[in-house]
Amino acid sequence: MENTRKAGILLHPTSLPNNYGIGTFGPEAYAFVDFLKKAGQNIWQILPLGPTGPGDSPYQCYSAFALDPILIDLTHFVKKGWLESSDLKEAEKANSGRVDYAFANGSRSNIFKKVHDLFETSATQEEIADYEAFTSKQSYWLNDYALFKAIKETMAGKPWYEWPDEIRLSEAESLAQYKESLSQRIKYHKYLQFVANYQWLALKEYANKNSIEIIGDIPLYVSYDSSDAWANHEVFMLDKNLNPDLVAGVPPDFFSETGQLWGNVLFNWDFLKQTGFEWWIRRISYNLELADIIRIDHFRGLLAFWAVPFGEETAINGKWIDAPGKELFEALYEKFGELPIIAEDLGVITPDVDALREKYNLPGMKILQFGFDESDFNGFLPHFYHPNSVVYTGTHDNDTVMGWYNELSSDIKLKFHKYAGSIGSGPQWLMIRLAWASVSQMAIAPLQDVMGLDTDSRMNIPGTLVNNWQWRYFEGQLPDEYAHRLKDLSILYSRINPDLKDTSAI
């Protein structure tokens, strides 16, 4: 990755404001890009964009490739003339500061069906050609996903491993029958993917034109209840009945005394090696279309992963199993050359993980909140950083800076202020200044930290299953003051967006 200093904001699109229950790829997303530009930023980092399942986690999706249709901008169809504003009434809901996933998913069905019907009767030749090009190019995952979603609807949303054996095991005759009987719903789900992809890429293009890069996010694992595990079961560690013997997690760590039991299916690395890592190459290739830079979550799992017996209630009784990360990256490098990848290298990191990251010049992650404790030598303090890193005030898995600060002991608070060089200033801006001043090539803060919000605005608490991924901000919560302060810091520490002609402090 190029060694230029950059800065930006972590914000998932679901957190954007509007009156439709959840943030989307709509006008508010473009307004956020404008804010980033005004603030001199050149990075927008997001979480995975996939269709979420129970628990609403973007790290537990129904597909490793699909985008979540609830992120589609509904006003797009009004601008096209296909719908009237009144047609969107059933999807309207005032922004409460929290995402309502149940409402967002349930309120769009009629609208999506109507626009799909209109597409089939009213689309221009150019639109039809674009749709056919998309479905042809993405057929390697799209056909399975659309069929998976259509069948799931007939099964009242049950996970695929609870379907009748003939379709659970993908018997040819049963598959053919479902493809025929559900052909219209299959086309419907393909269309939604086409629209979501089109809208996201248009938004990404707008960001790129303003010299703002998108950092996307790839969960290392996929959900057991996913089209990938159902249609490509050989890629995963499943027995002859397609049940997992082991599932993914991490051992006890900073976030949880009992570890984290994710429950994802694990990869069958022997099969992946035999196929030249084709599934992973396709995954990386598609994500490089969706983002400029990719963060691989739980990067260390590519060299060794924590495997927990299926049915365990915690992740304590797991074991480490080696994975062929070196061979995988050899294949990726041969295919793509230099890899615009950030390695999430937090937790228990062994020398081979560092060696793989350094061999391919992949920046690792530094979390400022981790730097302040009672130890004398803490590698998360900026004076220990290497330029080939990305520093965060915190991530989606951390408390906000204000929530974190409020829980510190008086001694650690004093240590923090002494290190930051200022006593009495707002902790969130001291943390942002420390990040921006560091030698790390990229510095990123969650939007909640720019706003100085407390624990109530935290995005996720690892190891918990409810009330996560819901935070949203309100219209008017991004005053020019925040843009000015971020721009000043970005000028001061040589991280300014190159498109800004005026690089004088405001």
Q: Quote the CA–CA distance of 38 and 236 in Å, as a whole number.
A: 45
Q: Identify the DSSP state of 66.
A: P
Q: 351 in a domain, yes or no? A: yes
Got the DSSP string for 221-255? SB-SSSHHHHH-GGGB-B-TTS-BSEEEEE-S-SS
Question: What's the pLDDT score for residue 423?
Answer: 65
Q: Quote the CA–CA distance of 3 and 387 in Å, as a whole number.
A: 8
Q: Quote the CA–CA distance of 428 and 22 in Å, as a whole number.
A: 26
Q: Quote the CA–CA distance of 351 and 80 in Å, as a whole number.
A: 55
Q: 399 in a domain, yes or no? A: no
Q: 270 in a domain, yes or no? A: yes
Q: How many CB atoms lie within 10 A of CB 246?
A: 18
Q: Quote the CA–CA distance of 338 and 359 in Å, as a whole number.
A: 11
Cα maximum dimension of the chain: 72
Q: Quote the CA–CA distance of 68 and 46 in Å, as a whole number.
A: 14
Mean pLDDT per 10-residue section of the chain, whose length is 506 residues: 82 98 98 98 98 94 98 96 95 96 95 96 95 98 98 97 96 96 98 98 98 97 97 95 93 80 94 97 97 97 95 93 97 96 92 96 97 91 96 97 96 93 84 97 98 97 90 96 96 94 55
Q: 291 in a domain, yes or no? A: yes
Dig out the tokens for 38 from the structure. 């005004």
* Helix, strand or coil, per DSSP, at residue 211: coil
Got the DSSP string for 373-393? SS-S--TTSGGG--SSEEEES
Question: What's the pLDDT score for residue 422?
Answer: 79
Q: Quote the CA–CA distance of 346 and 364 in Å, as a whole number.
A: 8
Q: How many CB atoms lie within 10 A of CB 389?
A: 22
User: Which of 209, 362, 361, 220 minimizes the C-alpha distance to 287?
Assistant: 220
Q: What is the CA radius of gyration of the chain?
A: 23
Boundaries of domain holding 248? 232-356
Q: 189 in a domain, yes or no? A: no
* Helix, strand or coil, per DSSP, at residue 38: helix
E-strand spans in 225-376?
246-250, 260-265, 293-296, 304-309, 319-322, 341-343, 364-367
Sort residue 186 into left (φ over 0), alpha (ψ -120 to 50) or beta.
alpha
For the packed helices 27-38 and 183-209, what is the interaxial angle rounded to 10 degrees?
A: 20
> Which residues participate in catalysis according to the annotation?
297, 344, 397
User: Which of 444, 441, 446, 439 minimizes the C-alpha distance to 381?
Assistant: 439
Q: 277 in a domain, yes or no? A: yes
Residue 333: partners with Cβ closer than 8 Å, 6 or more residues away? 339, 360
Question: What's the pLDDT score for residue 506?
Answer: 45
Q: Quote the CA–CA distance of 98 and 285 in Å, as a whole number.
A: 33
Please tell me the total count of domains within the chain.
Answer: 1
Q: 113 in a domain, yes or no? A: no
Sign of CA dihedral 225, 466, 343, 320: negative
Q: 308 in a domain, yes or no? A: yes
